Amino acid sequence: MNIVVLAGGLSAERDVSLQTGEMVKNALSENGHQVILLDVYMGYSDKTEDLSGIFERAQEVSIKVDAIPETAPDLAKVKAMRKDQSDNFFGPNIIELCRMADIVFLALHGKDGEDGKIQAAFDLLGIRYTGSGYFGSATAMNKALAKLVFLQNGIPSPDGILLTKKDSAKTAKELGIHMPCVVKPCSGGSSIGVSIVSDSEEFAAAVREAFVWEDELVVEEYIKGREFSVGILDDQPLPVIEMAPVEGFYNYINKYKAGSTVETCPANLPQDIASAMQRYAHRASRALGLFAYSRADFVLSEKNEIYCLEINTLPGMTATSLLPQEALEIGIDYRALCEKIIEISLRKYYNE
């Protein structure tokens, strides 16, 4: 097949997305496909070109990717690098190349990639793509809205409130927030802008930091405990994986710096707790109307109480990502996983 892998963009998770895209591109190329890796924002060239036969030059055309830095990208610098300086999110020739592909593998994470906007645009343009549709993507990406869906469907989640910029000057006491708590962007990912705070000064600083990334925040009770994740592939839960950072919590550095987190799959858990997490992940995926694959994150309290924190509709596929490790535990290696995601995603187009 002719496949475009879309990565990059203008999300705080841009660098992680590029790594996902590079690994997916390599895997699908090794599987025999003609695969072009593109940065959705930068596009391909800045001129009108004859694109015929471009998939035969896939390796030449594909962007080159660097390692994931330890800090989130400076998006103002990213914008300044675009040659045509257009205000169109889609870079030059992106739509044309995606229309030429048999399917687009969405290797995007975070804003404008995982939140349903691109999915909606592609639906209107008749472009086939991997993963969930626009509505499920948008609902899952909004942590405040997803939390309501969780609770309405019997999936336990930490108590929390939505905070907007009009409330940014209010103290934790004025907002009725008890310490310790977690402050995080409402629709972000990779733990960018996330803080665990224990007093009013830390709370004010955390709110300022999180508002750098988004205009809406979720503030929720802090649940001290162990962190886990459960992938869903083709409507079936994968084995539970535990993430135990060597230092601190499961933040941006600990997620993507090799050796900073000990990951155990299958997790060392009593079977009843592991099964409950898998049921909750599956129920969350169904309740949000997700498709093909996803990954739900959990914390297990010191009293063995399970809390669902969020669900990712385009989970990472980097060298340290969780979903590939879970799939491997049931005999699906990375190349087979990429192929399976495409196979599942194409069903909705064949079955219409």
Question: Under 8 Å CB-to-CB from 179, ≥6 apart: which residues?
Answer: 172, 197, 198, 199, 200, 203
Residue 171: which domain range?
160-221
Same domain, 168 and 311: no
Same domain, 17 and 100: yes
Q: Is residue 134 part of a domain?
A: no
Task: Return d(Cα 214, Cα 11) in angstroms, integer.
Answer: 11
Q: Which of 202, 221, 240 is the last residue of a domain?
A: 221
**C-alpha R_g of the chain:** 20
**Total structural domains in the chain?**
3
Same domain, 293 and 144: yes
Q: What is the DSSP letter of 328?
A: H
Same domain, 28 and 78: yes
Same domain, 271 and 212: no
pLDDT in tens, the chain (352 residues): 999 999 999 988 899 999 999 999 999 999 999 999 999 999 998 777 789 999 999 999 999 998 888 777 888 899 999 989 999 999 999 999 999 999 999 999 988 899 999 999 999 999 999 999 999 999 999 999 999 999 999 999 999 889 988 887 888 888 888 889 999 888 765 567 788 998 888 988 998 888 888 888 999 999 999 999 999 999 999 999 999 877 655 445 445 455 678 999 999 999 999 999 999 999 999 999 999 999 999 999 999 999 999 999 999 998 789 999 999 999 999 999 999 999 999 999 986 5
Task: Return d(Cα 151, Cα 129) in angstroms, integer.
Answer: 30
Could you tell me which of 78, 87, 124, 129 has the C-alpha nearest to residue 108? 129
Q: Which amino acid is at 251?
A: N
Same domain, 211 and 233: no
Q: Is residue 101 part of a domain?
A: yes
User: 112: domain CATH number?
Assistant: 3.40.50.20
**Secondary structure of residue 196 in the 3-state scheme:** strand
Same domain, 244 and 270: yes
